[in-house]
Amino acid sequence: MQWNEAKKWIRTFRAHAGSTVRLVILPHAGGNANYYRDLVGFLSADVECIIIQYPGRQERLMEDMVDNINDYADRITEVLRSMDDGGKRTILFGHSMGALIAYQMLHRNAHMLTFIEKLVVSCHTPPTRKDNRKYNKLDDDDSVIAYLQSVGGLHDMVLEDKTMLELIIPAVRNDLLAVRNFSLTQAYKISVPIYGIHATEDFGVNISDMQMWALLTEKEFELVQFSGNHFYMSDQWNTLADYLQRLCYSVVSTS
């Protein structure tokens, strides 16, 4: 992938000269880079934070969306490989759909991603457990809105703004269909540790679901809990940043 194309996918929100480790954020279904902007402000300056901006939202609104998990994984792999820093030691953090994409990146393209040392999966069942009941009704806008309300991803202010909804709904539907259509016929263990995050009030993903991620790594697995719903981080970015930063620092200390 040429750099001019790759940089469309990358948002940083601050300078990162001299950083020793990279944190890559893969957003949720329908999500955009700006949602995670507050996280960056709570991270130390020596942690470079890259947030992936998917096509079809915000300034990439007019671009064709990616409609399946494997294509997301392969294209983001190329984005990271195009960065001219020799492969900085990296942690992947995927929230919801982002967790599936991150896992598939390491499953499909491990030989190209040897600089990735940890995977953090947040609020999504592992791909070995397929439950599409919550994604069955996505054809009409009301069903998509109902889904967003059920996981706490839609504020009343947005609900009352029809223009905003018209911008959000297509990306959410696209990504939820990508999740629904994704299947993994065989479990593959990746060669990096997995760190799971479970939200205590995320009623679509229970703690036993998150514990099953342990079966998908050859290395250690750790599970932590955060209070809140599927979007637990919205009022505790500082706490999430502290946790992720500890993982980043442990990468640096073992280098």
Percent of all residues in the chain with a pLDDT value above 70, rounded to a whole number = 91
Structure tokens of 200? 């205590």
**Mean pLDDT for the chain?**
90
Q: Which domains does the chain show, CATH number per domain?
A: 3-127+186-253 (3.40.50.1820)
In 3D space, the residue among 153, 166, 175, 164 whose CA is nearest the CA of residue 233 turns out to be 153
* Residue 196, strand partner residues: 121, 223
User: Does the pLDDT of residue 240 top 70, yes or no?
Assistant: yes
| pLDDT at residue 126 tops 70 | yes
Which of the four pLDDT bands, split at 50, 70 and 90, describes residue 61? very high
Residue-level pLDDT at 5: 87
Q: How confident is the model at residue 152 (pLDDT cuts 50, 70, 90)?
A: confident
pLDDT of residue 184: 83
Q: What b-and-e string marks burial along 55-78, b requiring 16 or more CB atoms within 10 Å of the CB?
A: bbbeebeeeebbeebbebbbbbbb
Whether 254 shows a pLDDT value over 70: the answer reads: no
The mean pLDDT of 228-236, rounded to a whole number, is 95
Residue 233 pLDDT exceeds 90: yes
Residue 224 is encoded by which pair of tokens? 């932590």
Q: Which residues pair with 91 in a beta bridge?
A: 23, 118
Q: Which range has the worst mean pLDDT, 90-99, 152-161, 241-250?
A: 152-161
Half-sphere exposure in the Cβ direction for 197 (13 Å, CA): 26
pLDDT at 95 over 90: yes
pLDDT at 4: 83
Read off the pLDDT band of 129 (50, 70, 90).
low
Distance CA 214, CA 195 (A): 9
pLDDT of residue 132: 53
The answer, as to whether pTM is greater than 0.75, is: yes
| pLDDT for 127 beyond 80 | yes
* Residue 131 clears pLDDT 70, i.e. is over it: no
Q: Out of 41-45, 162-166, 235-239, which region has the weakest mean confidence (pLDDT)? A: 162-166
Helix H, strand E, coil C: the string for the chain is CCHHHHHHHEECCCCCCCCCEEEEEECCCCCCHHHHHHHHHCCCCCEEEEEECCCCCHHHCCCCCCCCHHHHHHHHHHHHHCCCCCCCCEEEEEECHHHHHHHHHHHHHHHHCCCEEEEEEECCCCCCCCCCHHHCCCCCHHHHHHHHHHCCCCCHHHHCCHHHHHHHHHHHHHHHHHHHHCCCCCCCCECCCEEEEEECCCCCCCHHHHHHHHHHECCCEEEEEECCCCCHHHHCHHHHHHHHHHHHHHHHHCC
Q: Among 130-144, 161-175, 198-212, whose mean pLDDT is lowest?
A: 130-144
pLDDT at residue 42 tops 90: yes
Neighbouring C-alpha atoms within 13 Å toward the C-beta of 115 = 18
Say what the pLDDT of residue 134 is: 58
